[in-house]
Amino acid sequence: MGRRALTGSWTRRAVPSQDKTTPEGVVVVAWVVLVVSGVLEAVWATALDKSEGFSRLLPSVVFFGGLGLSMTGLAYALRTVPVGTGYAVWVGIGAVLTASYAMVFGGESATPVKLLLLAGIVGCVAGLKIVH
């Protein structure tokens, strides 16, 4: 155990969005950045598939660029949005968009059960935003 742990300097910081002094505009920007980062998660996930094990240059570049921007946006949003909510929203958006893209353009089947389950994820993500 290091000295910092003993002195209490690793205290938990308050999440700004839970603090009533955080300006509403800051919270809105964090949520917009979080949604864009979720979309970028779908971009890098799809590009990873298209890169064929990083053997194709353009999809590989898109993967690394999308990954970097997505993670940067997630990190920015988590300065305001609680980590549990933010991460779940980010993953949910990325998962639904990636699966949807694969169904529309990638030849993956779009069964009623899959569509219902994806709608469930969308509902859960929206619910997390509502209760936040």
d(CA 96, CA 99): 5
Tens of pLDDT, residues 79-108: 999 999 999 999 999 999 999 999 999 999
Can you tell me whether residue 129 is helix, strand or coil? helix
Of 77 and 12, the one with more pLDDT: 77
130 pLDDT exceeds 70?
Answer: yes
Beta carbons of 93 and 40 less than 8 angstroms apart: no
Report the chain's mean pLDDT, rounded to a whole number.
Answer: 88
Task: Calculate mean pLDDT across residues 52-68.
Answer: 98
Reported confidence tier of residue 132, pLDDT bands at 50, 70, 90: confident
Can you tell me whether residue 34 is helix, strand or coil? helix
Tens of pLDDT, residues 8-34: 444 445 555 455 567 888 999 999 999
Task: Calculate mean pLDDT across residues 63-83.
Answer: 97
Give the position of tokens 């917009």. 32
- Of all residues in the chain, what percent carry a pLDDT higher than 70? 84
Highest-confidence segment of 22-26, 108-112, 127-131: 108-112
Q: Give the pair of three-digit tokens for residue 119.
A: 């709608």
